[in-house]
Amino acid sequence: MPLDLDSGRGLLVALLPEIVLSAFAMLLVLVAAWRHREPGAQRQVGWIGLIGVLVTAATVAVLWKTGVHDEGLSTTVAVDAFRWAVDLIVLLGAALTILLSIDYLDREGIPVPEFHAMVLFATVGMMLLAGGADLFVVFLGLELMSVSVYVLAGINRRSAVGAEAALKYFLLGAFASAFFLYGIALVYGATGTTKLAVMAFQVGSLDLGTHPMLLAGLALLFVGFAFKVAAVPFHMWVPDVYDGAPSPVTVFMAAAVKAAAFGAFVRLLLMGFSSLHGTWDSVIWWLAAATMLVGNVIALVQRNLKRMLAYSSVAHAGYLLTALVSGSLAGAAAFLFYLLFYTLMTVGAFAVLIAKGRAGERDVTTDDLAGLAESDPWLAFAMAVSMLSLLGFPGTAGFIGKWYILTSATGSGYGILAAVMVLTSVISAGYYLPVIMAMYMKPPLHQQAHAELKLTALGRGMLVAVVAALLVFGVWPNLVLEAARNGSHAFMPAAATTIATPISPP
């Protein structure tokens, strides 16, 4: 079904998922304002928000299934399988965040129904970010996402560490946004456009590959994206912000925020600057190598589980960057596959951490899980599967994802980076396996060590689904692999539209 994005109807259909989710977000604001002080308001708003996410996901699935695509050139938003794939991953992260937070907010005494509205507004920003075919649309999505997540990080106003986390994220995020916006200005100055498809044509036809203004603008865009995906050396905010924010918000940042930022980064590189692959691949190479090494080595010395998972997320940003370095369709497909299951691994690990901890889970260490297999075998098994999948152990979806990334890197001639990925994955065993050893091979610290362990039926049901997905797709990944390949076809050269004459820059 072709769409004319220059018409109101075509643009309306292209933005239908964002419109649906925005309508639900505004509905949540009204319900939250109306019932703010009533008992149970937070739960009611949460369930309405979850319905909104599911309806939006169904809308995305229908658009993908019916083969909706744009006529000619994507000038404002992209209408392709890659966008729908990233949207579904982001919506999955949002849905799991809401499921985790409904009981968590009541338990922690944070009866703030607006929490769920902010999750939906952030998700709308993420969808715009991942689907933007114009740098101004990307920036709009980035800011909508960022402002909402700033609020979520400090949603517990009684927590000093939460306020500190929100302030650090806000200040550093503002600097990153400034870099990104200045990068847009320089790229526009060099190419005369902010539209990615037109930009790609301009770079090739006007031979701008060595234009200093374009390269400076691209470098600044890299800084903005590197901050959002937590790549070294722009990762320093991660441990403090992840540690200080409520755990469901940490899950949201580690999974959905990272997914959206990476999705926009991939589109920028493969749609706007694919002809400059020989220029930016070395930058991605070093970013990936440094991120994998630093994230894994620092995670080794962490005993606080929440901080360990924070540095683990930095390391996984390096793995995802490794998928991008080739600039190929295979790399884009590997990126989509790994991104989906990284979201599930992260949710699985944090769900167990939430069940074990209290007051933000900042004091839970590896030793605190000692003997968990005796007290609650199911939770111990779920945590073990999540840890093994993050490690990339055979039989889990994490292994298939890492294998797919390694295949795309080695097939494109980046064997050394693939070797770095293998080495750092081995290093990660030094902090993933001790968690499993503590649960299964050590006695509890005392008889009542796990007496307060609690996960509701809702949380356990969600955890069952997550663990089942990690195991089932670890041995039968074909369905998801095919969907990932389909998503990567959005960047096939045959899909490009030729422009008659180049546009002279101003």
Percent of the chain with pLDDT over 90: 40
SS3 content of the chain, % helix, strand, coil (to 5): 75, 0, 20
Looking at residue 451, its pLDDT comes to 62
> How far, in Å, CA of 58 to CA of 55, rounded?
5
Looking at residue 240, its pLDDT comes to 87
Residue 426 has pLDDT above 50, yes or no: yes
Residue 503 lies in a domain: no
Residue 193 lies in a domain: yes
Residue 500 has pLDDT above 70, yes or no: no
Looking at residue 79, its pLDDT comes to 86
CA–CA distances in Å: residue 447 to residues 437, 443, 452: 19, 9, 12
> How far, in Å, CA of 80 to CA of 490, rounded?
6
Looking at residue 184, its pLDDT comes to 93
What confidence tier does 493 reach under pLDDT thresholds 50, 70, 90?
low
Looking at residue 361, its pLDDT comes to 66
Looking at residue 498, its pLDDT comes to 37
Which residues have a Cβ under 8 Å from the Cβ of 377 and sit 6 or more positions away?
Answer: none
The count of other CB atoms within 10 Å of the CB of residue 187 is 30
> How far, in Å, CA of 494 to CA of 468, rounded?
38
Structure tokens at 278: 């020989």
> How far, in Å, CA of 169 to CA of 185, rounded?
24
Residue 197 has pLDDT above 90, yes or no: no
What confidence tier does 496 reach under pLDDT thresholds 50, 70, 90?
very low
Taking only the tens place, the pLDDT of each residue in 92-150 is 999 999 998 888 888 888 888 888 999 999 999 999 998 888 899 999 999 999 999 99
Looking at residue 74, its pLDDT comes to 63
Taking only the tens place, the pLDDT of each residue in 323-337 is 989 888 888 899 999
Positive/negative CA dihedral, 393, 394, 399, 402: positive
Residue 506 lies in a domain: no
The half-sphere exposure of 71 on its side-chain side, counting CA atoms within 13 A, is 9
Residue 207 lies in a domain: yes
- List phi, psi (to 5°) of 73: -100, 135
What confidence tier does 501 reach under pLDDT thresholds 50, 70, 90?
very low
Looking at residue 411, its pLDDT comes to 87
195, β-bridge pairs? 134
**Per-residue DSSP letters for 101-147?**
HHHHHHHTT---THHHHHHHHHHHHHHHHHHBSBHHHHHHHHHHHHH
Selected residue with higher pLDDT from 262 and 72: 262
Residue 494 has pLDDT above 50, yes or no: no
| Rounded average pLDDT over 87-96 | 93
> How far, in Å, CA of 498 to CA of 123, rounded?
33
Helix or strand (DSSP H, E) at 156: none
Q: What is the pTM of this model?
A: 0.91
Domain span at 334 = 2-495
| Rounded average pLDDT over 483-487 | 86
Positive/negative CA dihedral, 122, 128, 129, 131: positive
Looking at residue 274, its pLDDT comes to 82
Residue 504 lies in a domain: no
- Print the SS3 string covering 164-195: HHHHHHHHHHHHHHHHHHHHHHHHHHHHCCCE
> How far, in Å, CA of 440 to CA of 455, rounded?
20
| Rounded average pLDDT over 188-203 | 86
| Listed range (73-87, 89-103, 217-231) with the worst mean pLDDT | 73-87
Three-state DSSP at 253 gives: helix
> How far, in Å, CA of 69 to CA of 5, rounded?
10
132, β-bridge pairs? 77
How many domains is the chain partitioned into structurally? 1
| Listed range (42-56, 156-170, 382-396, 483-497) with the worst mean pLDDT | 483-497
Residue 279 lies in a domain: yes
Residue 43 has pLDDT above 70, yes or no: yes
Residue 485 has pLDDT above 80, yes or no: yes
Taking only the tens place, the pLDDT of each residue in 137-159 is 999 999 999 999 999 988 888 88
Residue 199 has pLDDT above 60, yes or no: yes
Selected residue with higher pLDDT from 69 and 191: 191
| Listed range (17-26, 65-74, 166-175, 452-461) with the worst mean pLDDT | 65-74
Which residues have a Cβ under 8 Å from the Cβ of 421 and sit 6 or more positions away?
Answer: 288, 292, 318, 319, 322, 402, 405, 406, 409
Mean model confidence pLDDT for the chain: 86
Structure tokens at 488: 């990567």
Residue 66 lies in a domain: yes
Looking at residue 506, its pLDDT comes to 46
Residue 323 lies in a domain: yes
Taking only the tens place, the pLDDT of each residue in 391-411 is 989 999 999 999 999 998 998
Looking at residue 495, its pLDDT comes to 42
Looking at residue 18, its pLDDT comes to 92
